[in-house]
Amino acid sequence: MAPGADDIVDVAARFGAEVVVPVAAELDARPNPEDCFSWEIVEAASAAGLRTATLSAEYGGAGIDSLTTARVVEELGRADLGVSVVLAQTLKIAQTLQQAASLEQRDRFLPRFAADPRCLLAIGITEPENSSNYFIPYPEDFRTTATKVPHGWVLNGKKHFISNGNVASLYLLFAQTDPGRGLVEGSTCFLVERPTEGFSIGKVHDKMGERLANNAELLFDDCFVPDENVLGEVSRGFEVLTTFFPASNAYAAASVLGVASAAYDRSVEWTSKRYQGGAYLIEHDSVAADLARMRMLIDAARAYLRQAARAADHRDTEWDPTMGSLPKVFASEVAWEVVTTTLSLHGGHGYMKEAGIEKLVRDAAAFLHSDGANRTLLLKAARFIRDDARQEGA
Ligand X SMILES: Cc1cc2nc3c(=O)[nH]c(=O)nc-3n(C[C@H](O)[C@H](O)[C@H](O)COP(=O)(O)OP(=O)(O)OC[C@H]3O[C@@H](n4cnc5c(N)ncnc54)[C@H](O)[C@@H]3O)c2cc1C
- Does 136 help bind ligand X (rule: CB under 6 A)? yes
Q: How far is the CB of 366 from ligand X (least distance, A)?
A: 5
Q: Which residues, other chains included, contact 96 with Cβ-Cβ below 8 Å and sequence gap of 6+?
A: 172, 240, 244, 245
> What single-letter amino acid sits at 264?
Y
Q: Which stretch binds ligand X (CB under 6 A): 145-153, 160-168, 221-229, 317-325?
A: 160-168
The one among 124, 157, 186, 232 contacting ligand X by CB under 6 A: 124
Q: Sign of torsion, CA 59 62 64 70?
A: negative
Interface characters, 161-180, with ligand X (x: CB under 6 A)? xxx-----------------
Q: Give me the amino acid identity at 193.
A: E
Site string for ligand X, 188-217 (x = CB under 6 A): ----------------------x----x--
Query: What is the per-residue DSSP string for 322-341?
Result: GGGTHHHHHHHHHHHHHHHH
Between residue 312 and residue 371, which ones bind ligand X under the rule CB under 6 A? Answer: 366, 369-371
Q: Does 182 bind ligand X (CB under 6 A)?
A: no
Total residues binding ligand X (CB under 6 A): 21
User: How many whole angstroms separate alpha carbon 173 and alpha carbon 126?
Assistant: 10
Answer yes or no whether residue 253 interacts with ligand X by CB under 6 A. no
| Part in contact with ligand X (CB under 6 A); list of ranges 143-151, 158-166, 235-243, 344-352 | 158-166
- Tell me if residue 276 falls in helix, strand or coil: strand
Per CB under 6 A, the list member of 56, 131, 196, 200 interacting with ligand X is 131
String of DSSP letters for 134-173: HHTT-SPPPSSEEEEETTEEEEEEEEEEEETTTT-SEEEE
Pick between residue 56 and residue 131 the one whose CB is nearest to ligand X. Answer: 131
Cβ 202 to ligand X shortest distance, Å:
14
Out of 113, 372, 380, 381, the only residue in the binding site for ligand X (CB under 6 A) is 372
Among 25, 375, 386, 388, binds ligand X (CB under 6 A): 375
Q: Is 373 in the site for ligand X (CB under 6 A)?
A: yes
Q: Is 148 in the site for ligand X (CB under 6 A)?
A: no
C-beta of 131 vs 340, nearer to ligand X: 131
Answer yes or no whether residue 126 interacts with ligand X by CB under 6 A. yes
Task: Rank residues 123 and 191 by Cβ distance to ligand X and give the closer one.
Answer: 123
Helix (H) or strand (E) holding 39: helix 39-47
Q: How far is the CB of 84 from ligand X (least distance, A)?
A: 12
- How many Å apart are CA 70 and CA 310, to the nearest integer? 9
d(CA 279, CA 101): 61
Of 161 and 264, nearer to ligand X (C-beta) is: 161
Side-chain half-sphere of 370: how many Cα atoms within 13 Å?
29
User: Secondary structure of the chain: what % helix, strand, coil (to 5)?
Assistant: 60, 15, 25
| 126 versus 267: smaller Cβ distance to ligand X | 126
- Reduced to 3 states (helix: H, G, I; strand: E, B; else coil), residue 394 is coil
Give the Cβ contact number of residue 110 at 10 Å: 22
Interface residues with ligand X (CB under 6 A) are 123-126, 131-132, 136, 161-163, 210, 215, 366, 369-373, 375-376, 379
